[in-house]
Structure 1
Amino acid sequence: MTAQLPLAYGYLRDDMLCDLGCKSSEDRLRAAAGSLGYELGTVFHEPAPESGTLPPAFVDLVQECRRAAAHAVITPHGHLSNMSVCRMVLLAVLDVRADATVHEVEF
């Protein structure tokens, strides 16, 4: 019997994927999660950010981390930046609401 790896979720901003495509990006996140010692669950896709509120897919991500007691989020560098809500606020929400740590990886 093999030990089960801890669960992590992925977060991608679709407006930042360029030509990689969703499937390739998810595969890269899965590989990064494995190298960090996690099993990647759902990857949450955020459309281009809009004004002043928490992005909807981000809110879903926080709720799912809480529900599943998952304490890690894997995302490419920059995918939590340049939104209407500052990166530090997003990181704080994940920390306080879901006790989740963000691992930003290179693509």
Structure 2
Amino acid sequence: MTALLPLAYGYLRDDLITERDRDAVEDMLRTAAASLGCELAAVFHEPSPQSGLLPPAFVDLMQECRRAAAHAVITLQGHLSNMSMCRMVLQEVLHVRAAAVVHEIGY
């Protein structure tokens, strides 16, 4: 019998990666999840930064982490920066509202 791995979710800003690199970047997230002992369930893609309080794909990510009881979010360095809220605030929102920890990896 195979044990189920805990779920992790990815988060990427589409304005920071090219369409050509998208599959390679998602593979990097999948590898990072495996190194954490998790399975990458899905990757949430944020379009160009929004002017709203919380970016829409980020909100969807947070809700899915809560629903699935997933505690790991993997992203590339810089993908939580330069948005309407600072990176530390976004990380804290995920931690408080979804009990999820952000793991940033290099590209």
TM-score if structure 1 supplies the norm length? 0.93
1:68 paired to 2:56: no
Q: Which runs of 4+ in 1 moved over 3 A?
A: none
1:34 paired to 2:34: yes
Task: For residue 2 of structure 1, report the CA deviation from its aligned partner.
Answer: 2.5
Amino acid at match of 1:41: A
RMSD, matched Cα: 1.3
Task: For residue 4 of structure 1, report the CA deviation from its aligned partner.
Answer: 1.9
2: CA distance, partners of 1:40 / 1:50 = 25
Structure 1: tracts of 5 or more residues without a match: none
**For residue 87 of structure 1, what is the aligned residue in structure 2?**
87
1:23 paired to 2:23: yes
Q: Give the % identical residues.
A: 70
Task: For residue 20 of structure 1, report the CA deviation from its aligned partner.
Answer: 4.9
1:55 paired to 2:55: yes
**For residue 9 of structure 1, what is the aligned residue in structure 2?**
9
2: CA distance, partners of 1:36 / 1:96 = 21
Which one is further off, 24-33 or 14-23?
A: 14-23
2: CA distance, partners of 1:3 / 1:52 = 40
- The count of aligned residue pairs is 107
SS of the residue corresponding to residue 12 of structure 1 reads strand
Which one is further off, 58-67 or 80-89?
A: 80-89
2: CA distance, partners of 1:41 / 1:10 = 8
User: What does the per-residue CA deviation read over 1:15-55, in whole Å, with 9 as the maximum and x for residues that have no partner?
Assistant: 11146522221111101111121100110000110214200
Given that residues 52 and 85 in structure 1 are in contact (C-alpha distance below 8 angstroms), is that contact kept between their aligned partners in structure 2?
no
Task: For residue 9 of structure 1, report the CA deviation from its aligned partner.
Answer: 0.3
SS of the residue corresponding to residue 89 of structure 1 reads helix
TM-score if structure 2 supplies the norm length? 0.93
